[in-house]
Amino acid sequence: MMLQHCFRFGITVHVQVYSDFCVEVIYGFINVVISPPACSNAVECHYVGMVPVVFIAFRVCQFVGCTGNHHSDGLLVLRNFSVCQQAVSGIYFDAIRSLKNEIAGGKRADEAARTRNQAVYFECVAFACIKSCCTAGGSDCFLLIEYYIVCGIAALYLSFFPKVSVGPIARYRDFAPQLTNRQETVEKTAEGIRRFAYGLGKKVLVANIVGASVDKIYAQDITNVTGVMVWCAAILYAIQIYYDFSGFTDMAIGLGKMFGFDICENFNYPYLSGSIQEFWRRWHISLSSWFRDYLYIPLGGNRKGKARTYLNLAIVFFATGLWHGATTAFIAWGALHGFFIIVERIGFKKILDKIGFLRYVYTGLVVLFGWVIFRVANLQPALQYIRRMLTPWQYTQSTYALRELIGNRCIVMTVIGILGMGLIQAGIKKFCPAAEKLKGGVLELVYCMFLIAASMLLLVNGTYSPAIYLNF
């Protein structure tokens, strides 16, 4: 019997996941075509889209063994419109408990409510289907209804498409309140469009153009690559991965704001970092905080002595490497960052604070060597590339000239990319703070329109548009 209930529950959850994923897409169509006059609020109209899916679920559950002997109980649920309306509009568990109590008391709702709340009628059908699928009845039925609602909210969270591919990692505890209480305003929509335009420009105008030259260099046989070429490829890839990943993040945040959701920030000009510790406070912020809260702190954090702290850091960055790929290259990439973070915590950070500009050089070199390992994704060839970087005078022969692999557009976008990684922003903030007032004005509007138009032209005319971070 327990196995039978679990099987039926699995079907119900699967159907609910599919329904909640699709319902936002067809929501506008339903309001225009069906337009039930009795919908008292948007939430009720929202659930009309579940009707065909619910009936399919009912038939499937009947096919796998539901006897359908509880249709009277189902009709009882069907007629409890007033209580069901609370469950639909608020999605509160106390409404489910109220529904259970009223059914146990044999109460009936006014039949006139059926004509006043047609959208709620369909949701009641969903409740009736679930009730009919529970041959045990009683509390098991309402436990299933609770699962039904919880999994619906969870499915909306998991399937929120702006962030589902590359992040940021929006935690459920931060995101769940917005699922039932989001606010759409003109200001937030405008900010979302602006943020999306910036992200699209980052991805298409910078990352794609720079990435094409990176691929050309790494596509050559390693014996045909000079030390200068490897250095150029490493720098260009650092630009590519930042603008690719942060561009996708900006687009996700922008789309979220258009729909009334606030998604956490994920980057804060990481290449301006003066240490590897600072780099990880600025790079992929949502991942760093996730590992901190769910791995580093549970392991003991820094509360159990220095040796244990260093061990915990090593475990975290070993896991960070595995997060991106289960190969020796990614493990080595994580170990590289973990090693320098441990060294900085031992005492090297105090030295970095005293050497001024050189600390940025140190951080850039560590990050750059790490990106070589990350890009090649194979430890042995990656070490050969790094060897060429460390001794470039020994590798000067190639059948290609550097300008054959790096075109004019790549050079222009490289300069723009380097300036846009925080240098321009820091300069404006320090030397021209009045320029901040132009934010949201006509000039920024024209700039965003240019970014969207130029990005569309490149996307239409070109075929190269990799999403490198989707591979990890």
d(CA 395, CA 444): 46
- The answer to whether the beta carbons of residues 242 and 271 sit under 8 Å apart is yes
Residue 130 to residue 132: CA distance in whole angstroms: 5
The one catalytic residue among 70, 284, 324, 337: 324
CA distance 28 to 469: 33
| Amino acid type, 370 | G
DSSP string, 314-380: HHHHHHHHHHH-SSHHHHHHHHHHHHHHHHIIIIIHHHHTTSTTHHHHHHHHHHHHHHHHHHH--HH
Cα torsion 180, 186, 187, 188 to 10°: value is: 30
Please say if 324 is a catalytic residue: yes
Residue closest to 254 by CA, chosen among 204, 186, 207, 199 = 199
List the structure tokens of 11.
Answer: 């079907």
- 216: amino acid identity, one letter: K
Tokens at 109, concatenated: 């709702």
The whole-angstrom separation of Cα 327 and Cα 36 is: 55
* Under 8 Å between Cβ of 242 and 416: no
Distance between CA 326 and CA 239 in Å, rounded? 24
What distance in Å separates the CA atoms of residue 217 and residue 233, rounded to the nearest whole number? 7
In 76-120, DSSP assigns E strands to none
Residue written as token pair 């046989």: 221
Please give the positions annotated as active site: 324
